[in-house]
Structure 1
């Protein structure tokens, strides 16, 4: 029996456009492409999620790859302010979280994110209904490493077979299933399809 719902954050609870912040500081598409490639799609970004690199360390490494002072400045502004522009609530998810909570489900977050989540977690729809949040950078573990799910179960005293995981990446779902937690790949972002599946599973 499913007693707990575990949500991913980006592209599940929150919409995310990695380069949206850049357009606040430039109108040059080439500048934005530089930021996409060298900052938001970089190894440093993954290390921020893993909690093994600070913002200052990541910025220093990224700036060394950039060819001019303008792009180095843009990287600094984009890194410092991305959470103010790049994320917004996924329509319909706040209502779904509330409904699940009212049905008696425990609600949890398991997200690959830097420690900056604590700055903007109030943006997460339905955050007031969550019973616990687990952030990769704080645990020094990132999905799809199975250890992050084991940490989730341990930290919140959950049984894997009583949890249902919603994530937009199939590799994360597969890894969770390997730990005994069933799940649903939300790659299409279709909330009504997710609802129908949960009703079929008698979760809703």
Structure 2
């Protein structure tokens, strides 16, 4: 691995890196019943349909139409439907201190990109939740391309989309499998699994 200042491009994952993702935030906005929150958490956010949204293989309409019948009552279904319509407004929150890190990279002359497993909905709304939203040179989301990290193809599509040389990129993700796949693709990477900004700043030499 080269010195971090030698890389032209710094690539960030979103959830767990640029933003804190909490699946229940939206549901808690519409109910304070812990049993309903738990049911929606298990039935919706940990479903195959939710994974299909990140993959981009299912529309929002088809997704929610399959999830709702598995819930226990009309009341829960109504809260789940509202949660589904608004999850992107509440579940992602910019991580404290990350704006300063992203801006420091830009000031140093490096380009900054996003490579993340998220649904198509975030394609148009990610700037509402990421830190320093105008600082990114590009964003690439799994829901657009029918592929997920750590599948090798998503890294290749990312490089091609932005005409990037993998050896000139450094990737930061919170999952080791994604980091290992990145390295195999030719892009050096580091696993940000401590959620400690000081660790990240040390790696980025900020």
What TM-score does the superposition give when structure 2 sets the normalisation length?
A: 0.93
Task: Look up the SS of the partner of 1:165 in the other structure.
Answer: strand
| Residues in 1 aligned to 2:142 and 2:75: alpha-carbon distance in whole angstroms | 32
Aligned length: 200
C-alpha offsets along residues 99-120 of structure 1, whole Å, 9 cap, x if unaligned?
A: 1011111111101111111124
Task: Look up the SS of the partner of 1:173 in the other structure.
Answer: helix
In the TM superposition, 1:85-164 aligns within 5 A as 85-117=90-122, 118-164=124-170
In the TM superposition, 1:14-29 aligns within 5 A as 14-29=19-34
In the TM superposition, 1:1-204 aligns within 5 A as 1-117=6-122, 118-199=124-205, 204=206
| Residues in 1 aligned to 2:15 and 2:103: alpha-carbon distance in whole angstroms | 19
Q: Which residue of 1 aligns with 2:3?
A: none
Structure 1, unmatched stretches of 5+, are none
| Residues in 1 aligned to 2:204 and 2:129: alpha-carbon distance in whole angstroms | 24
Deviation at 1:198, TM superposition (A): 2.3
Runs of at least 4 residues of structure 1 off by over 3 A?
none
Moved more, 120-129 or 165-174: 120-129
Deviation at 1:123, TM superposition (A): 2.1
Task: Look up the SS of the partner of 2:10 in the other structure.
Answer: strand
Deviation at 1:92, TM superposition (A): 1.0
C-alpha offsets along residues 71-106 of structure 1, whole Å, 9 cap, x if unaligned?
A: 111210110011222121101111111110111111
Structure 2, unmatched stretches of 5+, are 1-5
| Residues in 1 aligned to 2:32 and 2:8: alpha-carbon distance in whole angstroms | 48
